[in-house]
Structure 1
Amino acid sequence: MNRRILVIEDDSVLNKLLCDGLNRAGHSAKGARRWTEAERRLSEESVDLVLLDVSLPDADGLDILPKLAERQPVIILTAYGSVQNAVAAMKRGAAEYLEKPINLDELEVAVARVLEVAALKRDHLFIKSRVEALTPHNLVGSSAAMTELRQRIAALAKSDAPILIRGECGTGKTLAGNLIHAQSARAKRNFVIHDGSAHLGRDFLTALFGAEPDPKAPGSPSRTGLILDAEDGTLFLDAVAEVDAEAQETLLRLLESGLYRRVGAQNDRAVQLRVIAATSRDLESMARAGTFRPALLEKLGGQTVHLPPLRQRKEDIPELAAYFLGHIQISHPVGKHLTQSALDRLLAYDWPGNIRELRNILERAMILSGEGAQIAPEHLVL
């Protein structure tokens, strides 16, 4: 498979030799002879692997290795091979270590091995990101509102534009975002969730974009952000109305240019991803009040999905209840069902907590009903 490889080697002859060999092996290799040139290339495009000379004219390879290894695997090249250098390189994040003169056959084997391990790591992240989609919760319901919603999701999945999902708490905004991702061209990459209400101020930016070491705390580590896990995939920003002005400005810049900057960093980084945001708030009112940037609202709100509250599609409650009970009962030895009077009580309720509340009430009813096969009205805590 064709992989993008950057060779950072100051020896022009060796640089060309390595690039030519990698290109013949079916990869797409480019060379850089100085760290400044390599840094510019990396800010403009993503690569799958870096070959890094440990001794560059303008940088020490071991010093820049940790930063590089956070984003893609790195193979260290050096003419000063030793056990100490190898151990130092591996501790700082190198995936492999090769000593000059470089044997092209050995290089090809090392590259294949490193890329295979990187692919396995990506697959692991991908599987973890799909857990949400595989949990017992889906767009269940045969109402006209749900039919229209499925059609809307299928249409938006074909686009790569930002999307704003609107709906009350508990209506399934995260699920809708995940389904858009699962039907899109980015489905084989990660679906990464970042909750705007869980991190405030700089904590939001650090968690999302990462941070450079604190200059006031020598030896403090750099922090990677969730955005690296979302690269080439989908970033789902839940509770986007809760982020502060600084974070809103940073998100707007990301959407407009595809660039972001780590907290404390001086240089921008480029990233390819799709952004889906969700809110239960009235962003238009917030924009008029000056608490949400109108430009960010305009950028996010070009494509919108509205999730109906459960009280507006009560005809779906019998189907939803059967679906949830079927999945909840996987861990229960006794099959249970709702009595008609219990179902009538569910239909009469207005569901301020929507689908999430319905599931929680059914889970509690399973416990309160004991060993019996029926869930009666008295088992429903509404």
Structure 2
Amino acid sequence: MSRTEQSDWTAPLDTLLRAWAQTAVARDKAGGTAFDERRLLRDSGLLRLSIPVEYGGDGAPWSTVLDVVRCMAQVDSSLAHLYAFHHLQLATIRLFGRDTQIRHWLPETVKQGWFWGNALNPLDKSTRALSDGAGGFFFDGRKSFCSGARDSDQLIASAFDEDGRLQIGVTPTARAGITVLDDWDNMGQRQTDSGTVIFERVRISAEERLNDPGPLSSPFACLRPLLAQAILSHIYLGIGEGALQAARESTLSQTRPWIASQAERPGDDPYVLGRYGDFWVALEGARLLVERAMQAFDLAWSRGLDLSEDERGTVAVAVATSKVAAARAGLDVAHRMFEVMGARSTTAALRLDRFWRNVRVHTLHDPLDYKVRELGDWALNGRVPVPSFYS
């Protein structure tokens, strides 16, 4: 039995979410780094949720970890993103690293209270890996979309060597030669710190390289991109659910229906009820698909290196399906929520548009059309998605 089953992790999560909710609107306007809110997250103990019990963590299954992400996204999708990517980096070590590396970095994460950031962007080839002559590399260049790099303790970074091969390594964020820029200023996901990291001859030793077994080296290692995609599904779904709750609170607080309505209050107007019915169907359908995908993912994770290519492909289809459904539902609800709240809901001070801005930015992570094309290839030709860092 895991510690998650023995203890109640919902209490610290509820405390965290109440605190975040009080500042969410102001922080969406301010952007930048949510230092205080990240401190609360460090103090909550939730950073160790996915770490196995034998390494000092809570040993929660991935379905539980991502359910926490979904709850966070209902309140603040930027911080949900940071929390999820912290656990994605820990999963990367478990999937790509040697036993000795796992036995070092995971217990140290618990002991030191480390918050992991991301500088692994395989599409960005502007960072080079130059051999140090001792089995390691010097990373040199700029890396974009480095979610959570600011205020992190450790980074997982990538670069391409002289032969064009992807090299992945672990480094303390404070290591000499690393500069984390405060240059993320997008219209949504405003506090994910997904800006630029500069590497100036940053040494990654042989012991810090995640090359044994390395990226995408087995069907089990190929679960890493599926976990990343599942994270996105939970964030999209959480944003949609948060938008629905905000709309519901607004509608129920109104006392006057539209002048042409024969209802006594907005909550009884047939057109308003129809919109809420649409919202419910979209989100409930996405939720069920997300939960089904995570059941398959947990089972695949438990298989370890015994996982077959066909088994991994089945999970890939389930995850892709849930991601498309969650993205569409989140976008639809966050956009159409204003139809049931009225003109006053567009007041700038309320920043209710943050739900749409957040899900709009995040759903551009990788093109949804290509995910649908993959599913079409499966539905028509029976071909599962080819493993990559995005499928």
For the superposition of Structure 1 and Structure 2, which TM-score range results when normalised by the shorter chain? under 0.3
Query: Which is strand-richer, 1 or 2?
Result: 1
Q: Which of the two has higher C-alpha Rg?
A: 1
Structure of higher RCO (CA pairs closer than 8 Å, 6+ residues apart):
2
Give the structure-2-normalised TM-score: 0.23
